[in-house]
């Protein structure tokens, strides 16, 4: 969950980051073979002594490590900063981001980026297409979910991180990139030359299931997610939807304001969405803000271990107000509100400046949201999306391996035969 604002971190964090950057470039404060200088350190004597230890270790590695080609100062600094922030116990949330990571973060929250338009992840140790974005160059070129990316511009992807693969694929609009892929279940590879473009990431998508149940997917709580969700809900209602399955599986979160806004669509105005505990100061309440009547159709919310931050706020709030049945497996367990501080080189530090609790006061940090009904996908099975199920009958969907979606359909009375009437509602 991120309410984007500038925030000044404690002096010792700034001191560490700036000391690392200045000393690497100038060599100030250290003479090999002598005591490390700490005269400019403004922290306590104990902390200044630990800074000196850091530089001793730094130079021991520089001078003695067996493989000098492995010594990469920038990566060493990034690792040191990440280690410092990880020690706070807010892994995956309080963090340091490089300039490139900051750029990708901004693109994600803005809902657009430059590339071929596909979600990529590491699956089974290899970079794999999770799904092409609808209307993207990747989709037009024939990229499919489950495709393994073998090479990018002739360079093998073996051993590359997800960030390195993405960096190879992305580029300026109008420029070509050739990816070598292997379709799921096939042995032969295929070269696809794709022209990069400015790609818009849809925050929401939906399809109508049989028996007039709307299946709505919320990909992330990016800018304008509230309006996008309102539009999808209105479209579903106009199409005659009698119930909704709202999917936040693998939704990593996003902007706090959008989390409050989206949640407000489904509960009465003024009800508590979350409670924020500040480091110093009184508890702050975030309340439902929308003026329009909340949607009162029966709902099931789908969650999994990739549902984090704003997704957890949304699911937990609807669960506690008995507004929806929450189905799946426990969520990630994020519990902090982030503010960012940009560093001089364009990198940034995200710090958890507050801890949030549910309307009833539960802390989900490290615990996550526990579903009302636990249903786990079989190993290796990818969740369906609204795009996947367009045109499918209920029998077709029930023959897939997405048992979470199937159970949600069952709860909302979707029959196996499209021609049969709906069963009584079970979900809230």
User: pLDDT tens digits for 149-194?
Assistant: 999 999 999 988 888 899 899 999 999 999 999 998 899 999 999 9
Q: Are 349 and 9 in contact (CB under 8 A)?
A: yes
- Token digits of residue 126: 């290899």
Nearest to 381 by CA among 308, 332, 329: 329
Strand bridging mode 336-342 / 325-328: unpaired
User: pLDDT tens digits for 40-63?
Assistant: 788 898 999 999 999 999 999 999
- Token digits of residue 175: 């420029």
Residue 215 has pLDDT above 90, yes or no: yes
Q: Are 208 and 215 in contact (CB under 8 A)?
A: yes
Helix (H) or strand (E) holding 406: helix 403-411
Q: Are 212 and 242 in contact (CB under 8 A)?
A: yes
- Token digits of residue 90: 């807010």
Confidence of residue 195 (pLDDT cuts 50, 70, 90): very high
Residue 424 has pLDDT above 50, yes or no: no
Strand bridging mode 155-156 / 148-152: antiparallel
Helix (H, G, I), strand (E, B) or coil at 261: helix
Instruction: Kindly list the structural domains of the chain, giving each domain's residue range(s) and its CATH number in brackets, ordered by start.
Output: 9-87 (no CATH), 112-200 (2.30.42.10), 204-411 (3.90.226.10)
What's the confidence (pLDDT) of residue 417?
Answer: 58
What's the confidence (pLDDT) of residue 416?
Answer: 63
- Token digits of residue 226: 């509230």
CB < 8 Å & 24+ apart, contacts of 373-376:
373/325, 373/326, 373/327, 373/407, 373/411, 374/328, 374/329, 375/327, 375/328, 375/329, 375/403, 375/404, 375/407, 376/328, 376/329, 376/403, 376/404
**Cα–Cα distance between 343 and 349 in angstroms, integer?**
8
What's the confidence (pLDDT) of residue 105?
Answer: 77
Place of tokens 């995956």: 92
User: pLDDT tens digits for 303-351?
Assistant: 999 898 899 999 999 999 999 999 999 998 888 888 889 999 999 999 9
Q: Are 288 and 260 in contact (CB under 8 A)?
A: yes
- Token digits of residue 313: 């706020």
- Token digits of residue 88: 């706070």
What's the confidence (pLDDT) of residue 133?
Answer: 81
């Amino acid at each position: 969950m991120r309410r984007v604002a500038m925030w000044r971190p404690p002096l010792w964090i700034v001191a560490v980051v700036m000391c690392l950057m200045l000393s690497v470039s100038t060599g100030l404060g250290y003479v090999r073979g002598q005591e490390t200088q700490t005269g400019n350190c403004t922290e306590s004597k104990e902390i200044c002594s630990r800074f000196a230890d850091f530089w001793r270790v730094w130079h021991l590695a520089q001078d003695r490590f067996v493989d000098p080609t492995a010594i990469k100062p920038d990566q060493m600094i990034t690792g040191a900063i990440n280690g410092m922030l990880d020690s706070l116990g807010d892994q995956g949330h309080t963090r340091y981001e490089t300039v490139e990571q900051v750029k990708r973060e901004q693109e994600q929250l803005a809902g657009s980026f430059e590339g071929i338009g596909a979600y990529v992840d590491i699956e089974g140790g290899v970079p794999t297409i999770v799904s092409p974005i609808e209307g993207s160059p990747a989709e037009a070129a024939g990229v499919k979910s489950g495709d393994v990316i073998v090479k990018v511009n002739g360079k093998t992807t073996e051993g590359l991180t997800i960030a390195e693969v993405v960096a190879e694929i992305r580029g300026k609009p109008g420029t070509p990139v050739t990816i070598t892929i292997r379709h799921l279940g096939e042995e032969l590879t295929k070269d696809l030359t794709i022209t990069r473009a400015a790609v818009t990431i849809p925050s929401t998508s939906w399809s109508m299931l049989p028996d007039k149940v709307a299946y709505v997917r919320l990909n992330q709580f990016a800018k304008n997610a509230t309006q996008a969700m309102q539009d999808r809900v209105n479209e579903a209602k106009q199409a005659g939807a009698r119930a909704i399955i709202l999917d936040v599986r693998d939704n990593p979160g996003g902007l706090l304001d959008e989390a409050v806004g989206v949640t407000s669509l489904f509960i009465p105005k003024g009800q508590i969405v979350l409670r924020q505990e500040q480091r110093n100061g009184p508890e702050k309440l975030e309340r439902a803000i929308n003026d329009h009547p909340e949607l009162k159709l029966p709902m099931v919310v789908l969650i999994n271990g990739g549902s984090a931050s704003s997704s957890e706020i949304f699911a937990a709030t609807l669960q506690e107000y008995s507004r929806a049945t929450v189905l799946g497996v426990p969520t990630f367990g994020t519990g902090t509100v982030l503010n960012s501080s940009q560093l001089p080189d364009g990198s940034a530090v995200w710090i958890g400046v507050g801890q949030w609790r549910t309307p009833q006061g539960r802390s989900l940090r490290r615990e996550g949201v526990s579903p009302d009904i636990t249903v786990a996908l079989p190993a290796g099975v990818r969740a369906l999306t609204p795009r996947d199920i367009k045109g499918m009958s209920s029998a077709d969907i029930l023959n897939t391996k997405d048992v979470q979606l199937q159970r949600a359909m069952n709860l909302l009375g979707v029959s196996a035969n499209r021609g049969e009437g709906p069963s009584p509602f079970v979900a809230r």
